Structure 1
Amino acid sequence: MSGAFPTLPSTLAFEVIDLGLIAYQAAWDAQKEHHARVAAGGRPTLLLAEHPAVLTLGRKAAAGDNIVVTREYLAAQQIGVYQIERGGDVTYHGPGQLVMYAIFPVGRKVRDFLRLLEEATLKALAALNLRDTRPNPGYAGIYVPDREINGLSRHQKIASIGVAIKRHVALHGVGLNVSTNLDHFDLIVPCGLTDTQMTSIEREYQWRGLGEAPGMDAVKSAVAEAFAETFRNYDWTLPALPFQTLPIQPIPSAGGPA
């Protein structure tokens, strides 16, 4: 439902809609509906959602090679698999993960848009007392400091980013692990990154002795406020250019969602 974030300014250029816990297909259909409206000149929309356990395959993952269990096992666990239009490889969505679908005009400002998604997520995490999060120069996503696991230093990824652009408007967005069942990431090589372990707000609070982790409602409010601040001066203009589809791959290193 919309209207659940009373601290947001009334002049906000985009609407925030909380879909709650919703089947992946239903949320995908909602994205397409809002996308068509925004591409026709309607008000941009940030959809917030949780999903039952599901794997999604981006354009780099057509063969599903980074799923490390059989499809029969996934079916027995009632975990669906969807081939979707975003860039990147395989990722997991499930209860306790907040997915932010930013149905925003982008045009050709793809790199800038991805950086703003990162910035909004970083601001939300800082507001939730995780102030040492960072983007990765080589890959789209948000990380906390590396951690030694079984004698090996592993990157710790707390949020994944994967976007597609159609008719100059974005689909998909950011998956932020709040209290996600992190064991489910063992079903895949997340985003195809073999040196990366997934973490969550809940796990980071436990590791750092920060007490009780914020619940989903608090995280949603922090995210909505962070997006409002980050996109305050955004150019919402839709370019009058021929329609095209641009799959978004990880951002190249200077010198990145999945």
Structure 2
Amino acid sequence: SVSGTLRSSYFLFQIRMIFFFVLLPNVSFTNYFDLSSVKVYIASLELKINMQNIKSLYETGKYEEVIHILKKCLNESCGSHLYYEHPLNKHAQMEVLLESLWRLGNFQDCISWAEKVLKYSTDNYFIISRNGSYSIEFARSINSALLYIHELIEKLGYIILEFEYISRMVQSIHKILTNLLDSQHDKNVSNNHIIDCWRAWIILHYVLEWENDRNVINRKNFTNQESNFLLESEEEKWFSSYMMFFVAHELLGSRCRKKKSLFGFFAFA
């Protein structure tokens, strides 16, 4: 194979400590090759070959191999704007990775990657043109990340929120909801906003409750007088976390009816 030939040549030159380069003056794009560029090309070629096998690996339940390939591919490509350089576009790669992590039960890794997908997709969604096809793809990735975060919290409870980038996740959600406040979307048109903002509100509520629960635990270390003061403070915060739903309902309008009115049932059940 081409990859095998390149790899054999690379190790042969490396063992003999031979320095070489090839200059191709008639090639306009990349006309200089050395050991370093050959190594990069080998890695790129192997990754493309592995990506060709993703579908069959996923369909046969070989999720660990799928995860290994997609993590490597996403880590190397998320700084790039070449969205369709592989058989699976970048957004499909993210969805397949999250689904594979879920199926294997790697829930902590799943929420960690869901946060990365949310951060990457949210940042890019608000940079590129809203009318472009890429904006729809980024919105899909945002919705996918929000879905997995929501489902993980409901499945495992607040303990799943104890990961390194929880603050960054809240910042991404804040960016989404701030856009909802600033946008001119008609709240009476249920399908006008392509991001599932209602799910972002629910996740934010869970985070507030989790933070309140942590404060209650910390409160036990204070004196009775200080505890009484903190008790009133915690009750106020608890009340505020639910008052948030009334604000969300007002802003979302008829969009609360999306996904069979799940937001309305959650908020007022």
TM range (shorter): under 0.3
Rg larger for: 2
If each structure's helix is expressed as a fraction of its own residues, which one has the higher value?
2
TM-score, normalising length: structure 2: 0.23
TM-score, normalising length: structure 1: 0.24
Structure scoring higher RCO (CA < 8 A, sep ≥ 6) equals 1
